[in-house]
Structure 1
Amino acid sequence: MAKIGLVTGSFDPVTKGHLDIIARASRLFDTLYVGILYNRNKSGLFTIAERKQMLEEAVEPYSNVKVVTAQDSLAVDVARELKAGYLVRGIRDAKDLEYEASMDFFNHHLANDIESVYLLTSPEWHYVSSSRVRELMHFHSDISAFVPDSVVKKVEEKYDNLKRI
């Protein structure tokens, strides 16, 4: 029986911290889905299509990783649709752990057949978050140390506000 995992998030934008979790999780599963879950009533900096494109380019080296999108869906429902038996989550600090423990409580209640797997963020990505990257972008700062080339390329193309130093 194939082991199928699902990593979810908004990935607005995908960071090198996300990619670290995805790369490590890809070694644990036969198939790893990366799910961009979104609420159509909330707007992000990047469109869903742009996020998907950036993610697909960033995960290209991992042959068992597939990017999917889901609108107004719970992660456990998406996991069921994909026949994923595992939800993969990255944890940076105690605050993330508390949040994830709360989510796990409800996820387990809704789908006790789907197991949560937690990976600690590698130390070099501990402070990297999409919201911090968006803040740097707002101030026209170089984000290339924190995001994959696909994001840098998209930012340069879309906002013309990031030039590599």
Structure 2
Amino acid sequence: MNKLNQEHTIAVCPGSFDPVTYGHLDVIQRASQVFEKVIVAVLKNSSKTPLFSIQERKQLLEQVTEHLPNVEVDSFDDLLINYMSERNARVIVKGLRAVSDFEYELQMAALNRKMNSDIETFFMMASSQYSYLSSSIVKQIAQFHGPVNDLVPEVVEQALRQKFGTR
């Protein structure tokens, strides 16, 4: 049986981050306290049409995680399990908001483990103040010029305003 040595474990926190929210940041910050290195990996999801380009999402993530010295931002467009091997990472960190997230993520964790038994998935419950928060909701509110200042960092709010043509 493999044991994870958390002092030398690289974790990957994958997602579309379109845009990054305080909920994402909560999980990233908490993961950075558990693992030696956390790679926030922006994925190109072919089933979604993103508001922000991968480069824009990476830049926003770099800005909002710059205070976390053990967090790196990257991107990938392959199977997560292949990316994990490339980066010598052992743990996938997934934030969960609700039971519906768990059902999907459990299925993905089982498939990833089947493809590479050395990979573990670390589920982290969203803090209660972010359990309702999703990038989709943030985009919808921003599109109709609603307030998102308590949902996303200021730099992300500014980027949303620029995308939707609001001040």
Task: Give the TM-score, by structure 2 length.
Answer: 0.91
SS in 1 for 2:112: helix
For the pair 1:126 / 2:127, whether they are aligned, the reply is no
CA distance in 2, matches of 1:49, 1:43: 15
Counterpart among 46, 56, 59 of residue 53 in structure 1: 59
For the pair 1:43 / 2:70, whether they are aligned, the reply is no
For the pair 1:12 / 2:18, whether they are aligned, the reply is yes
Counterpart among 72, 75, 88 of residue 69 in structure 1: 75
Q: Which runs of at least 4 in structure 1 moved beyond 6 Å after TM superposition?
A: none
CA distance in 1, matches of 2:148, 2:105: 27
**After the TM superposition, which residues 1-165 of structure 1 pair with which residues of structure 2 at under 5 Å, given as runs?**
2-39=8-45, 42-71=48-77, 73-161=78-166, 163=167
CA RMSD of aligned residues (A): 1.4
CA distance in 2, matches of 1:129, 1:43: 15
Amino acid at match of 2:155: S
SS in 2 for 1:116: strand
Task: Give the TM-score, by structure 1 length.
Answer: 0.93
CA distance in 2, matches of 1:39, 1:100: 16
Show CA shifts across 1:56-87 (max 9, x none): 0010110000000112x111111111111000
Contact 2:142 2:161 in 1 (8 A): no
CA distance in 2, matches of 1:39, 1:97: 19
1:118 to partner: Cα distance: 0.6
Task: Give the direction of change, closer, same or farther, for the CA distance of 1:102–1:40 in structure 2 (3 Å limit).
Answer: closer
Contact 1:5 1:84 in 2 (8 A): yes
Contact 1:11 1:51 in 2 (8 A): yes
CA distance in 2, matches of 1:58, 1:8: 16
Task: Give the direction of change, closer, same or farther, for the CA distance of 1:40–1:92 in structure 2 (3 Å limit).
Answer: closer
Amino acid at match of 1:96: D
